Amino acid sequence: MASNLGIKEVPDQNHVHGDETEKTNNGDPDLAKEIGINGRKLAIERFDVNRVGEQMVNFLQGIVSEP
């Protein structure tokens, strides 16, 4: 269907086929869940309720200053 619309299909570059081993864990729901849980725990541990405004300003300034 994509070829009918003039859209070129690009091979999946996240996986290496043949004799090489897979370099990524795309599609592993257990790994994704673990990363999500650990990220959430880290964010909660690092979040300081008393400095919400300052932290939000720093976060937004970081986004704006990125190229």
Q: What is the rounded CA–CA span in Å between residue 33 and residue 22?
A: 20
pLDDT of residue 21 exceeding 50, the answer is no
Q: What is the rounded CA–CA span in Å between residue 15 and residue 22?
A: 6
Q: What is the rounded CA–CA span in Å between residue 28 and residue 22?
A: 12
pLDDT at 1: 46
User: Per-residue pLDDT tens for 40-54?
Assistant: 787 777 777 777 788
pTM to 2 decimal places: 0.27
Residue 17 has what DSSP assignment? -
